[in-house]
Amino acid sequence: FYLLLIFCGVFFRCLGISIMVWFTLLFVFIIVPAVLGVSLGIRRLYIVTLLKVFEWATSRMEMGAKEKNQQLYKPYSSGIIAKEPPSSWQQEIQDLRGSASCLRSEPEFEMADIFYFCRRGVESIMDDEVTKCFSAQELESWNLLTRSNYNFRHISLRLTVLWGLGVLIRYGVLLPLRVTLAVTGISLLLVLTTLVGLLPNRELKFFLSEKVHLMCYRICVRALTAIITYHNRENKPKNGGICVANHTTPIDVIILANDGCYSMVGQVHGGLMGMIQRAMVRSSPHIWFERSEVKDRHLVAKRLGDHVADKTKQPILIFPEGTCINNTSVMMFKKGSFEIGCTVYPVAIKYDPRFGDAFWNSSKFGMVNYLLRMMSSWAIVCSVWYLPPMNREEGEDAVQFANRVKAAIAAQGGLVDLIWDGGLKRAKVKDAFKEEQQKLYSKVLVGEQDQGDQSDNKLVEDENPKEDKSHQDSTEVQ
């Protein structure tokens, strides 16, 4: 019994010393640099080491597969396939009909037209642009994680040992470290924003609120071992404007807020998220909507307009896609953010999938499960581009303005620019899209009669591409 007491005393003493050393190292090497906004270079050294390990693992895979005459899995595509714009309906159907149809004096339906729609339907099934946007991006090589269709770790004993060591490091060291930092950052955000909200002086409150938010977001960024490269900081969003960005994951907010403060826009939540929202709004002017208010477009536009009209308030951060996309493309922007009539600051975010998949597939993973997957990956590496500010041009409607901003973000981030609504992730295609295709085919059947009466309409159609019209139809209910 006496020996047992001695053993317990030594054990708890060692445990206490370990905990003290753990938090001391966190405070000195992570929290203090985060508060001061400096980096010691540890994370970048970690990323360089990972790249070397990946290169060695890849060479071992190729060597082991060659020895065993195995075919390594190679994805057939690195992302969305960008297709060339097709020719006109009339031309394609006319080619299928052949020269015999040209001899007829009146246009009419022909059985050959069916083959055109069959071909287009099969193409859509085999290469569905929308479905690809909501699945994890395939990797060209193995990153010692499990996101692969081939068990690379079983190729050789060395790879198996390396993979097991990686699991031990990720779950035994990185995960506890990141959870500790995340809890620290969120706790400080709750406590400090509540205290700052009690200050009566408005200018002092906003100054301290900005410092508190930056400090807490920087701690949360380190909780993800995030390496972020910001480009063109001279174009950073300014007060009185709206910052719009492509949306891949909920941590997009942390990625951007790590480099500057924004006013958030979102729906009121309960639980822990609700506590964070209430604490944040006490110290800075964020915009939270009740569920019933979100459906009122005029009320939303009015509150956003009132916010940007005050040049002392921080820029609003909005993700116009309305849902998370897998970082290979940009889908349709909702037009509400572009109707306010203020300066828009586009931002492009591109993640490196080699170190971890940042995409949140909300239909497959809950928030807690997703965060655990993020914190047990190697790291989050991404690039952020601040694009030049853009304003609505004369004669340009909100939909055309949204398309122009979306195209600029897609071009800068190396993403595919798609016209489809992200709501197709959970909903069926709107009838407006089907009716548009039916109208186009009806024009083929009717022919080019009454061209004189329709010349003005055709001119308008040429100036307004089909995707803009379909975009307008699909956003009328937003």
Instruction: Note the pTM of the prediction, 2 decimals.
Output: 0.76
Contact 472, 399 (CB under 8 A): yes
pLDDT of residue 436: 77
Asked whether the predicted pLDDT for residue 80 surpasses 60, the reply is no
Contact 374, 224 (CB under 8 A): yes
Average pLDDT, the chain: 77
Domain-embedded: residue 233: yes
- Does residue 362 or residue 168 have the better pLDDT? 168
Domain-embedded: residue 454: no
Is 245 strand, coil or helix? strand
pLDDT band at 348 (very low <50, low <70, confident <90, very high): very high
Contact 407, 320 (CB under 8 A): no
Contact 185, 219 (CB under 8 A): yes
pLDDT of residue 243: 93
The per-residue DSSP string of 270-316 comes to -HHHHHHHHHHHHHS--EEE-HHHHT-HHHHHHHHHHHHH-TTSPPE
Q: Which amino acid belongs to residue 319?
A: F
Give the H/E segment covering residue 227: strand 226-231
Q: Which amino acid belongs to residue 265?
A: V
pLDDT in tens, 28-46: 777 777 777 777 778 888 8
Domain-embedded: residue 7: no
Residues, the chain: 478
Domain-embedded: residue 8: no
- Does residue 261 or residue 114 have the better pLDDT? 261
Across 8-12, 158-162, 460-464, least confident range: 460-464
Contact 387, 180 (CB under 8 A): no
Domain-embedded: residue 85: no
Is 243 strand, coil or helix? strand
pLDDT in tens, 422-440: 777 777 777 777 787 778 7
pLDDT of residue 403: 92
Instruction: Name, in order, each residue with C-beta under 8 angstroms of 335's C-beta and a sequence gap of 6 or more.
Output: 398, 399, 401, 402, 471, 472, 475, 478
Mean pLDDT of 117-126: 72
Mean pLDDT of 372-390: 91
Looking only at the bridges linking them, the beta strands covering 242-245 and 344-351 are parallel
Contact 150, 159 (CB under 8 A): no
Measured from the Cβ of residue 366, the count of other Cβ atoms closer than 10 Å reads 10
Across 50-59, 61-70, 277-286, least confident range: 61-70
Question: Which domain does 344 fall in, by range?
Answer: 152-425
Is 199 strand, coil or helix? coil
Domain-embedded: residue 231: yes
User: For residues 243 and 444, what is the distance between their CA atoms, to the nearest angstrom?
Assistant: 43
Domain-embedded: residue 78: no
Domain-embedded: residue 439: no
> What are the tokens at 241?
């404007």
pLDDT band at 94 (very low <50, low <70, confident <90, very high): low
Mean pLDDT of 369-387: 90
User: For residues 78 and 353, what is the distance between their CA atoms, to the nearest angstrom?
Assistant: 11
Query: How many domains are contained in the chain?
Result: 1
- Does residue 389 or residue 75 have the better pLDDT? 389
Instruction: Name, in order, each residue with C-beta under 8 angstroms of 350's C-beta and a sequence gap of 6 or more.
Output: 327, 382, 383, 385, 413, 414, 415
pLDDT band at 87 (very low <50, low <70, confident <90, very high): low
